[in-house]
Structure 1
Amino acid sequence: MFGLQDIPKFVLAFFLVLPIISFIHEAGHVFFAWLMGGKNIRITVGTGKVLFRLGMLEVRKYYFWYGLCSFDNLKRSHRFANILIFSGGVLFNAITTILVMYLVEAGTVVAGMLTYQFTYFSMYYIFFALLPMPYPDGTYSDGKVILDLIRNKPHIADTIYRITWNEEKRHWQVLDSSKKVLETSRDEDTAIARAHQLAQNTRPSRVLQTKAGEEIEVCNYPRVPL
């Protein structure tokens, strides 16, 4: 039974152990994103207003709840690469859990409340990350994305935005996947900036530009792992 004497243990788990586990989880995503050539990598721990940024780490006001990582421009953006990236969080959680259990068994680390909470909540984190389910805000669990990637579900496919020059009308235009004109501009940089904005808001997505009759990738914005 949960008693008054257990409240400090609960506070320790919620405000210290869980954020550490969350950070390890996001570090797993980041490792594989870096391995696949990702740029602009950022780890976000918590939710709410930003408290501080330190390099790629961003800590928010409610640091004990939620976490995600973001990155752009994967050099290797095929399905297997994305499966590795989305599996990285639970993989790092599993590795650190097994490591702590091994150290306790070997007598290197003394078993106590911290080791118990760490292993317990790591398994909790792994279970809910792998459970293939949608979240109320429209995002998906890592397990759901991994499963959909394996099944090659259509909604996982990149949304394509194209930047082209219309010679007849003498303006730049941003097109969607069906070649429908979304934006027009006399200025190339403005058209590119708008395409980037649209792509960032519609992950996973790619921005392509036609130059000298050849279509090249300007940037890609992969889905954000949680």
Structure 2
Amino acid sequence: MFGVNDIPKFFLAFFLVLPVISLLHEAGHVFFAWLMGGKNIKVTIGSGAVLFRMGILEVRKYYFWYGLCTFDNLRRNHRLANILIFSGGAFFNAMAAVAVVYLIENNKLEPSMLTYQFTYFSLYYIFFALLPMPYPDGNYSDGKVILDLARNKAQAAEKIYRVQWNQEEKQWCVLDHNRALVEAFADEAQALAKAHEVAQRNRPSRLLSSKGGKETEVRNYPRVPL
């Protein structure tokens, strides 16, 4: 039964153990994103105002709540690659929990409230990460994205945005995934900047540019794993 003496243990779990587990979870996403050639990899731990940035890591004021990993331009941007990336978080949590249990069973680590909380909340994290469900903010759990990718469902498909030169109008056109005009510019750099903004906001997406009648990929924006 939960008593007054358990309150410090609760704070220990909430303010120390959970952020560590969250960091391990995001590290799993990062590892597979890097393995698949991802660029501009960034990890955010917590929410609210930014406390500090160190390399690819950004820690926010409420560091004990929420986390996400962003990256662009996967070199291996196929279905299996994305499944591995979205599975990476739960995989790292599972490996960490197994490692702690192994060390305890082989008398390499003393069992304590800290190790118990770490193992317990790692399994908790894995369960809710892999539970296939949509979130109120429009994001999906890792499990929901993995399931959609495995089923090859439409919502897992990339939207394609294009920057094309319109010879008649003498302008660069930004087109959405239905080839409808988003905006037109006289300057190619402005058109690309707008296209990047739209594509990044509507992940998963690819941005193509047409020059000399040939389409080339400028960048891809995979869905963000949480």
1:30 & 1:167 partners in 2: Cα distance? 42
Determine the structure 2 residue equivalent to 1:85: 85
Shift of 1:179: 1.3
Compute the TM-score of the two structures, normalised by the length of structure 2.
0.99
Runs of 4 or more off by more than 4 Å in structure 1? none
Determine the structure 1 residue equivalent to 2:75: 75
Structure 1 stretch displaced more, 5-14 or 177-186: 177-186
2:2 & 2:139 partners in 1: Cα distance? 33
State how many pairs are aligned.
Answer: 226
2:14 & 2:122 partners in 1: Cα distance? 12
Secondary structure, in 3 states, of the residue corresponding to 2:48?
strand
1:137 & 1:181 partners in 2: Cα distance? 27
Deviations 1:170-199 (A, max 9, x none): 000001122111110000000000000001
Determine the structure 1 residue equivalent to 2:47: 47
Compute the TM-score of the two structures, normalised by the length of structure 1.
0.99
2:19 & 2:181 partners in 1: Cα distance? 44
Determine the structure 2 residue equivalent to 1:184: 184
Paired letter, 1:94: A
Secondary structure, in 3 states, of the residue corresponding to 2:2?
coil
Paired letter, 1:202: N
2:148 & 2:24 partners in 1: Cα distance? 24
1:221 maps to 2:216: no
Paired letter, 1:105: E
Determine the structure 1 residue equivalent to 2:205: 205
1:136 maps to 2:144: no
Shift of 1:141: 0.5
Shift of 1:39: 0.3
What 5-or-longer segments of structure 1 have no aligned partner?
none
Paired letter, 1:21: I
Q: Identity of aligned pairs, percent?
A: 68
1:29 maps to 2:26: no
Shift of 1:136: 0.9
1:41 & 1:178 partners in 2: Cα distance? 29
